[in-house]
Structure 1
Amino acid sequence: MSHLLWKTLVLSPVVLGVTVLVSARAIATEVAGSSEDIKAKTAQTEAPMSSDASTFIQTEQPKVNQLLVAQKTDDNQVLEEVNRYSTEGKNQNSLSQVTSVSQFSDVQPTDWAFQALQSLVERYGCIAGYPNSTYRGNRALTRYEFAAGLNACLDRVNELIATATADLVTKQDLATLQRLQEEFSAELATLRGRVDAVEARTAELEANQFSTTTKLVGEAIFAVSDIFGGNTGDANNTVFQDRVRLDLQTSFTGKDVLHTRLAAGNALAFNQVDNAGVPINTAEGTQTFQIGSSVNNSVNIDWLAYYVPIGPVEAYFAATGGIHSDYVATNNPYFEDFDGGNGALSSFASESPIYRIGGGAGAALTIPFSSGGSFFKPSSLTVGYLASNANNPGANQGLLEGNYAALGQLNFSVGDRLAIAATYVHGYHGAGGGNLFDLGGGLGSANRVVGTNQANTLSTLSASSSNSYGIEAAFRPSDKLSISGFVSYHDISGFGAGDDYEAWSYGLGVALPDFGKKGNVLGIFAGAEPYSFNRPGFVGNDIPYHFEGFYKYRVSDNISITPGVIWLTSPGQSSANDDAIIGTLRTTFTF
């Protein structure tokens, strides 16, 4: 019974369609039939009629005063009139049932009731037309005509309901279902118990989940590495190093993200030695998993930052561990992975050294331009400020008085294949020593992550300021090839005598994504790590070239294995030193 009621409800729109359609005709402008003054609105009318054959016919309508408010008609007379119109519809020579509303020459898709008429004709098949292939939708009709048309469509509805319910379930089917239920009662009870257990466990998890706003993104790196070449090879052994990062990502609005990252590791860079057996104080060949290592696997918060959109502007706020590549485009796809385990092996190949100047706490804004970009018009502007010792209230320290690096970058996006950036970084480095590419190590820090000793070392007696300029570009001629590169120039002005120097760096990389398998990457990178010539007190004026090749093999969505080689020429900017070759097998787990 409920199934029959449902079928009736499903087909009931036809009743509404007929009502709308014929009501519109009833209030439409009446077409004059003759030149006589017909004050009582009686005329010889061509009436659209419907019957079981679903046709419209032409008939001689009796002259009935249509102001039926003043005329009293009993129920029997009304029924007789309706039946008479329906009977006449069967006996007249009318147009056969049309199958498409397009067969009506006077019906246009722009007519306001077109969809209703189309449904009645093509879906329900209870409306036809006149013998001359017209519908005459603007013609008036009487209530009898309306009742006859509605009656025909209701008959059609009953036919459809009868057809739809002809194949309903029988008593034999119900008996079969009951027998099957009894036969598999044990299995059904077991299944019901399992469902109840799953629901209980789900409720428990929902009640005791860590957070509704926070998710955990983790990365663990296992790396086996060694270095070969002359005294450097003899001074180092094969190592097995690790680093783990656990990033708690919290969103409060769905558009913002708070990163609270915990890190631990035991990775150290290799010690390079010159031909005289003296250590070379250089950061050449430093690998990404060796950055931010706590040496003894102690856990610390190495990054705390918040990203939030402010209107069209993307804002970035770092409380600790902020670096410029956190918020600005480095244009080095497939090589950069934020010093993670799925990009290049070395810190040099992962991004331009200009982004390694300074770091710590601060803020940044990326402002888009709605008109888009080109070679001569930037698509966005990024500005940022990071202070290395923002938490220290001491003299020549803090957010504004200590070491800092302020960045400005114009980003040019030409289509979706070419990206170019022009970068400027101004840094202040207080007296007490330190390194230019210190990644926010701060005053007196021994931390350096890229480049030679000559390019890094700052004056210990007086403060210095640096002005660095860089160009970064990435070109993707196809989905299987990416070419990227950078060049940077650094002008350091010391406030003491002989403290001024200049440094250069450049590199070019070619990446083949999905090489051999989807998710794999073959990368080749070459360039010169940051170097400086003719600095008093430093030995070596050769260019330290860096060549690197790696192949990231994707084992699964969460595991990748990356074998790679780094070849360093003229370590310490001296061709007298033997070349160094670093071999690494890196395995990265992400979760």
Structure 2
Amino acid sequence: MKLFQQLLVAPAALGLLAPLAVDANRSANAAELNINGVSDYAASSLGSSLEQVTSISQFSDVYPTDWAYQALSNLIERYGCVAGYPNGTYRGNRAMTRYEAAALLNACLDRITEVTDELKRLMKEFEKELAILKGRVDGLEARVGELEATQFSTTTKMSGKADFVIGATSYGGDKTDDLYATDEDGKRTGYLGDDALSFSYRYTLNLNTSFTGKDLLYTRLRTGNFNANAFSGKGYTGKQSQLETSKSSADILKVDKLWYEFPVGNFRVYAGPKIENYYMLGASPSVYRHILKQFKLGGYYGAYGASTSPGFGVNWISDRYANYGDAKLKLSANYVSKNGANSNAREGGFMTDNGKGKFLSQIAYGNTQWQVAAAYAYSQRGMTVGGAGTPLGASTKNYEEANQVNLNAYWRPQDNGWIPSISVGWSLSSFNLPKETIKGEFNGTRTEAQGWLVGLNWKDAFMKGNRLGFAAGSPQFVTAIKGEVTKKDGTKTKYPDDGNMAFELYYDFQVTDNVTITPAVFYLSRPFGQKTGSSAETGGLGADQFNTFGGLVQTTFKF
């Protein structure tokens, strides 16, 4: 018997032999054999005077509740080689005799012969097409074999991105004392002026490793040469003009992120030696795609600001694997310790008083179209809590602890058009100063700050695949200070005169699926906040003005 015939016979044969195995303890002898029944069964199987069974409903003693109902139905409808007794019964609980098995098997072989003849006709008719398909399959097998022999890893997928940024900034407004360059004797030598045109890059490799298909070992390798230019966060206006794509590592490729995550029911658990709090959230608080880092997550320098550190966390999403369009409740809690890799408890350690740790929790509700979220963060002394670095007392060393609250929401239209997606955020930070503070030592140091953001994105703007973005906000402005501040006219005030604004506008031009060119501009009003300076006429705080204008072109290559 040919292989194809054997394959077709196998299901039927197994179905026939199963009752024999079940009833092996009951031996059928010649005395028990009903010759008339066998003859009738054989006649029906061979299709003489009785018609072959074409539907399982023709059997009066077979019911949907029978354990073999589906198997018998498949044999009838797929192979057409099942017959019953002349009285319309199947007698499924009765032991099958060898004569009955032979008669039924003979009917199946006849059916297979019919199928085989039809297949031969079809194979001859489509001979050319089958030859082409065979050649393609052979080629695919060769390519698969080559890929298996040269593949990077059976468990790891790698993707990468290169960002090129060329741009510059210029400064304007009042020329206050802090904005002039001086020589060694403290004599002014002129205004600091504008930054020169710079050309920098950031290069990223993402390694996604999974051992079960549901877990993830994430490794990010990154390098860049932004260093101390205007966009690095270390330039003249500090982190106010820092780009999201900036990276300063002196061209050295380093492990930038490293953690492992895995599911436990509707929970997802995270742990790693290099992770930030917001990576462990069950939901992003914003959908605004940003250029300046201060607009990240709907206001990065509130509760969400952090440092890459050892940490762990967990998030829970109701009906996590259900329809993504359904609104869901999302809870998150995590912890990172800036000094978590230091084993000296007096200097650091994980979850110690000196660990420079940060705890972040978030509750969110919504779906991919809309969401509202609230977050709370507690930070120890030394953990990053504010990004501007310019309002009074912005140094992270000037407080004992900080408590921060963020409220965020977003909405985006179902259809792309002139109605943009909208992301809004507000943050409030409260700072507790050290208990051992000497009287007057920290006068003017901030004890409270706020921030806000409104971000708009137009998807498929002007052309399908492109994106237009605009945002306005204030990263952080001081709303309360300790003690008093002395003005230039000698008077004192207990109230901060802080305030700063940031704006950005950009357009993503999708050249190909892998290349995007993004021209962007940004404007910072009073990026130094209250430290901008005083007006000689009024003697007030913060009366002077200073601004920064930046322009750049960013090219992103994805692979």
TM-score by length of 2: 0.67
Q: How far off its partner does 1:473 sit? A: 2.7
Residue 510 (structure 1) aligns with? 456
The answer to whether the aligner puts 1:475 opposite 2:411 as a matched pair is: yes
1:331 counterpart SS class: coil
The answer to whether the aligner puts 1:582 opposite 2:538 as a matched pair is: no
Give the letter for the 2:429 counterpart: H
Q: 1:242 aligns with which of 193, 201, 206?
A: 201
Q: 1:558 aligns with which of 514, 519, 523?
A: 514
Instruction: Assess, with a 3 A threshold, how the Cα gap between structure 1 residues 575 and 124 changes in structure 2: closer, same or farther.
Output: farther
Post-superposition CA distance 1:332-385 (Å, at most 9, x none)? 4443xxxxxxx4110111122125645243312114276889xxx963231313
Instruction: Assess, with a 3 A threshold, how the Cα gap between structure 1 residues 11 and 349 changes in structure 2: closer, same or farther.
Output: same
Give the letter for the 2:550 counterpart: I
Q: How far off its partner does 1:503 sit? A: 0.9
1:161 counterpart SS class: helix
2:471 & 2:306 partners in 1: Cα distance?
Answer: 24
Residue 265 (structure 1) aligns with? 225
1:149 & 1:398 partners in 2: Cα distance?
Answer: 77
Give the letter for the 1:541 counterpart: D
1:283 counterpart SS class: helix
1:428 & 1:87 partners in 2: Cα distance?
Answer: 90
Q: 2:331 aligns with which of 375, 380, 384?
A: 380
Q: How far off its partner does 1:105 sit? A: 6.3
2:518 counterpart SS class: strand
1:587 & 1:360 partners in 2: Cα distance?
Answer: 26
Q: How far off its partner does 1:531 sit? A: 1.1
Q: In the alignment, is the contact (CA less than 8 A) between 2:523 and 2:548 conserved in 1?
A: yes
Instruction: Assess, with a 3 A threshold, how the Cα gap between structure 1 residues 161 and 464 changes in structure 2: closer, same or farther.
Output: same
- Alignment size in residue pairs: 483
Residue 371 (structure 2) aligns with? 419
Give the letter for the 1:585 counterpart: V
Residue 187 (structure 2) aligns with? none
Give the letter for the 1:382 counterpart: A
Q: How far off its partner does 1:261 sit? A: 2.5
Give the letter for the 2:195 counterpart: N
1:550 counterpart SS class: strand
Q: How far off its partner does 1:506 sit? A: 0.7
1:195 & 1:89 partners in 2: Cα distance?
Answer: 45
Instruction: Assess, with a 3 A threshold, how the Cα gap between structure 1 residues 355 and 287 changes in structure 2: closer, same or farther.
Output: farther
2:311 & 2:170 partners in 1: Cα distance?
Answer: 42
Q: In the alignment, is the contact (CA less than 8 A) between 2:422 and 2:455 conserved in 1?
A: yes
Residue 5 (structure 2) aligns with? 7
Q: How far off its partner does 1:471 sit? A: 1.7
Q: In the alignment, is the contact (CA less than 8 A) between 2:44 and 2:50 conserved in 1?
A: no
Give the letter for the 1:487 counterpart: W
Cα-Cα RMSD: 5.2
Instruction: Assess, with a 3 A threshold, how the Cα gap between structure 1 residues 228 and 127 changes in structure 2: closer, same or farther.
Output: same
1:457 & 1:268 partners in 2: Cα distance?
Answer: 20
Q: In the alignment, is the contact (CA less than 8 A) between 2:202 and 2:222 conserved in 1?
A: no
The answer to whether the aligner puts 1:218 opposite 2:160 as a matched pair is: yes
Post-superposition CA distance 1:113-146 (Å, at most 9, x none)? 545654565542663776xxx61445999999x8
Give the letter for the 1:457 counterpart: A
1:90 & 1:569 partners in 2: Cα distance?
Answer: 95
Q: How far off its partner does 1:524 sit? A: 2.4
TM-score by length of 1: 0.64
2:391 counterpart SS class: helix
Q: In the alignment, is the contact (CA less than 8 A) between 2:218 and 2:258 conserved in 1?
A: yes
Q: In the alignment, is the contact (CA less than 8 A) between 2:45 and 2:104 conserved in 1?
A: no
Q: How far off its partner does 1:530 sit? A: 0.7
Q: 1:350 aligns with which of 291, 296, 312?
A: 296
Unaligned runs of at least 5 residues, structure 1:
28-65, 182-187, 272-278, 336-342, 438-449
1:524 counterpart SS class: strand
Residue 312 (structure 2) aligns with? 364
Q: How far off its partner does 1:487 sit? A: 0.9
Q: 1:100 aligns with which of 55, 58, 74?
A: 55
Q: How far off its partner does 1:561 sit? A: 1.7
Post-superposition CA distance 1:141-175 (Å, at most 9, x none)? 9999x847953761562364166248759xxx9xx
Residue 407 (structure 1) aligns with? 359
Residue 494 (structure 1) aligns with? 433
2:241 counterpart SS class: coil
1:139 & 1:219 partners in 2: Cα distance?
Answer: 65
Q: In the alignment, is the contact (CA less than 8 A) between 1:331 and 1:473 conserved in 2?
A: no
The answer to whether the aligner puts 1:331 opposite 2:284 as a matched pair is: yes
Q: How far off its partner does 1:507 sit? A: 0.7
1:235 counterpart SS class: coil
The answer to whether the aligner puts 1:521 opposite 2:467 as a matched pair is: yes
1:589 & 1:533 partners in 2: Cα distance?
Answer: 42
Post-superposition CA distance 1:495-515 (Å, at most 9, x none)? 333235211101122333455
Q: How far off its partner does 1:247 sit? A: 4.3
1:379 & 1:282 partners in 2: Cα distance?
Answer: 34
2:460 & 2:211 partners in 1: Cα distance?
Answer: 36
2:92 & 2:271 partners in 1: Cα distance?
Answer: 72
- Map 1:184-199 to 2 at 5 A: none
Identity %: 21
Give the letter for the 1:257 counterpart: L
Give the letter for the 2:164 counterpart: F
Q: In the alignment, is the contact (CA less than 8 A) between 2:282 and 2:316 conserved in 1?
A: no
Q: How far off its partner does 1:425 sit? A: 2.3
2:459 & 2:510 partners in 1: Cα distance?
Answer: 11
Q: How far off its partner does 1:223 sit? A: 0.9
- Map 1:106-505 to 2 at 5 A: 108-111=63-66, 114-115=69-70, 118=73, 122=77, 123-124=79-80, 127=83, 135-137=88-90, 147=99, 151=103, 154-155=106-107, 157-158=109-110, 160-161=112-113, 164-165=116-117, 205=150, 215-228=157-170, 230=172, 234-249=193-208, 255-259=215-219, 261-270=221-230, 283-290=239-246, 292-294=247-249, 297-299=250-252, 301=254, 303-309=256-262, 311=264, 314-319=268-273, 322-328=275-281, 331-335=284-288, 343-351=289-297, 352=299, 353-355=301-303, 357-368=305-316, 379-387=330-338, 391=342, 400-402=352-354, 404-429=356-381, 436-437=385-386, 450-451=387-388, 453-454=390-391, 457-458=394-395, 463-478=399-414, 480=416, 482-495=421-434, 496=437, 497=440, 498=443, 499-505=445-451
Give the letter for the 1:523 counterpart: G
2:389 & 2:347 partners in 1: Cα distance?
Answer: 27
Q: How far off its partner does 1:95 sit? A: 6.1
Q: How far off its partner does 1:315 sit? A: 4.3
1:359 counterpart SS class: coil
1:164 counterpart SS class: helix
1:124 & 1:269 partners in 2: Cα distance?
Answer: 79
1:577 & 1:215 partners in 2: Cα distance?
Answer: 51
Give the letter for the 1:586 counterpart: Q
Q: How far off its partner does 1:259 sit? A: 2.2
Q: In the alignment, is the contact (CA less than 8 A) between 2:526 and 2:545 conserved in 1?
A: yes
1:118 & 1:196 partners in 2: Cα distance?
Answer: 37
Instruction: Assess, with a 3 A threshold, how the Cα gap between structure 1 residues 356 and 105 changes in structure 2: closer, same or farther.
Output: closer
2:365 & 2:84 partners in 1: Cα distance?
Answer: 61
Q: Which has the larger radius of gyration?
A: 1
